[in-house]
Amino acid sequence: MIWELCVRYANGRETVLDVFQSQAIAQNQVDKLYAEGYPMHFAYFVRPKCAT
């Protein structure tokens, strides 16, 4: 399965930052981003890639 590392902004817009083959690796990237501090106006998250 393919996993997307995304950011969701306060206005509801979402952007894909990167794509991973492993959910664990994708989640580790989120952990690394949050280790730098928690942003006030957006959130990082991992989701399965939608089939196109």
At residue 50, the pLDDT reads 80
Chain centroid, CA 6 distance in Å: 3
Give the three-class secondary structure for 43: strand
**pLDDT by residue, tens only, the chain of 52 residues:** 999 999 999 999 999 999 999 999 999 999 999 998 888 899 999 999 986 6
pTM score of the predicted model:
0.85
Q: How far apart are CA 4 and CA 34, in angstroms?
A: 16
Structural domain harbouring 9:
3-48
At residue 39, the pLDDT reads 82
**Number of domains comprising the chain:** 1
Q: Which of 8, 38, 4 lies closest to 20 in space, CA to CA?
A: 4
